[in-house]
Chains A and B, each alone.
Chain A
Amino acid sequence: MQYLLLIYQNEVNDAKRTEAEANARSAEYGVFTQSIIQSGNFKAGDRLQPTSMATTVRVRDGKTLTTDGPFAETHEQLGGYYLIEAKDLDTALAIAARMPGAKYGSIEVRPIWVYNK
């Protein structure tokens, strides 16, 4: 079996953390990630940029509607995900608009957090 573990947390509180607190959290995640890599459970994982960096795509009557933010309807629940590589947001939004789910629900396009190289 495979499972998706979704991390929910309060972004507003997260943004208020000191650098030391943020580093401590990263270190904690580092230890956890290493442990599940070693145990053979790890498939993939990423940190996401906050919801203020999100863009939502819906297709209605053949027209693509693009809105700022996550703003998923409260009666819509997470049903799946794709991780894609795209050269920029326009490319990602165009791919999102082609997903069957864009016609029935919403596709939230959220950038993956890239740690400083």
Chain B
Amino acid sequence: MTPVEIENIFRSEAGRALATLIRLVGDFDLAEDVLQDTFAAALERGEVPSNPRAWLVTTGRNKAIDRIRRETAFRTRQDQIVHETKSRNTDATGGIGPAEDAMDDDALRLIFTCCHPAFAIETQVALTLRTICGLTTGQVARAFLASEDAMAQRLTRAKQKIRLAGIPYEVPQHDALNARLHGVLAVVYLVFNEGYAATAGETLMRPDLAGEAIRLCRLLDVLIPARSEIRGLLALMLLHDARRTSRETAEGDIVLLEHQDRALWNRVQIAEGLALVQQALSEPGRPNSYAVQAAIAALHARAPSFSETDWPQIAGLYEVLVRIAPSPVVALNHAAAISMVDGPAKALALVDTLAACGELDGYDLLPAVRADLLRRLKRDGEARAAYRQALESTSLEPLRRFYLRRLSELS
């Protein structure tokens, strides 16, 4: 096996192996260390056995026992680990690792621990990327545009809090599950959004982050099956991500939906997304906001061209969203959809009302939407002023270039 092949196997299995190791050795840091050692050992051997997850757990556990043995003070814990793993060794993988079911539970436990509300949301995202997605501290730091030192410190403090504040390593029960799952999905969606359109930096997209979010959501869908919120979010991300290659030029400039080459859209991914939207919307009860957003993305994905898009239905779905998950950003998107149905003048009135509330102050897409409506109304002077305002509010280079391009077209 090539090192790249081994790394790919490791990346796809590490999160779940880590989850089980944490339970077995009872210590985040020790589990991470031995898993890293196991990866290094695999690279040295040049191969990974056919059941990599069980092998990672078994080898990691043995390494942990070795380490603890060297520190005799921890004798009791060593007995505990040996005892725990012995009692779980009866399984389908030939008795060498813990059972699949137990590992599924562990993976969920780890997700809920990383996305615990006792952490700030940025910390939840960072912990998730580091421990579940298996990104290095340096890679997590880059996702946040933070220094590696600062990120390492944040992660250390978070793991300290798990231990010292007694954050439980378990899946919340009954009533608590819904509220906590909501928080977990918010983290997944944040990771995706950063990959779909970065907050700042040189490049519009971070496909690695978008990919991680999709992978994580797929895992959640396996672990907690038939949840319309999970399926809705997965559908939403697949449909957005399907347009990836058409969203920027080779030079990294933004291509608007209007001008995207629809032949570049990933049809396989769209088909999967459409099927999931169907499932998510057919669940009984009130539709959740992810499913409705996915339904909007589905209408875009199915439209043969920009002009043939079903704008009235899209505007209608945004009205549903405004009702079930009201937020200023949703209201802004609703206004943009209205501009395609009732024209830019009507939409501008909505946007101006929204701007007057002040809730979106500093959000560059507010002046950007305004600018676009003014441009379409041929009010060039006001459009220029709005584009300049958008330009000042963004830290993303491709967006800056886009606003500058619009400004030069208007002068």
Contacts and interface: CB of A to CB of B under 8 A. Distances in A.
Interface residues of A, number: 18
B161 A53 contact: yes
A89 B157 contact: no
A68 B168 contact: no
B167 A89 contact: yes
A46 interface: no
A68 B167 CA distance: 12
A109 B165 CA distance: 9
A66 B165 contact: no
B118 A88 contact: no
B164 A88 contact: no
Contacts of A39: none
A92 B168 CA distance: 11
Interface in B100-131: 116-120, 123
Nearest to B119: A68
A23 interface: no
A89 B117 contact: no
Interface residues of B, number: 16
Q: Looking at chain B's contact residues, is the secondary structure mostly helix, strand, loop, or mixed? A: loop
Nearest to A64: B179
A92 B165 CA distance: 10
A68 B120 contact: yes
Contacts of B164: 49, 53, 111
Q: Looking at chain A's contact residues, is the secondary structure mostly helix, strand, loop, or mixed? A: mixed
B168 A55 contact: no
A52 interface: yes
Contacts of A67: 117, 120
Interface string A61-73: 0000011110000
A92 B167 CA distance: 10
Contacts of A19: none
A88 B161 contact: no
Contacts of A54: 165
B161 A92 contact: no
Contacts of B118: 55, 66, 68, 89, 93
Interface of B: 116-120, 123, 157, 160-161, 164-168, 172, 176
Given A66-B117, A90-B172, 7 more contacts: A67-B120, A68-B120, A68-B123, A69-B120, A87-B168, A90-B167, A90-B176
Interface of A: 49, 52-55, 66-69, 86-90, 92-93, 109, 111
4 nearest A-B residue pairs (beta carbon): A66-B117, A88-B168, A55-B118, A68-B120
25 contacts: A49-B164, A49-B165, A52-B157, A52-B161, A53-B160, A53-B164, A53-B165, A54-B165, A55-B165, A66-B118, A67-B120, A68-B118, A68-B120, A69-B120, A86-B166, A88-B166, A88-B167, A88-B168, A89-B116, A89-B166, A89-B168, A90-B167, A90-B168, A90-B176, A111-B164
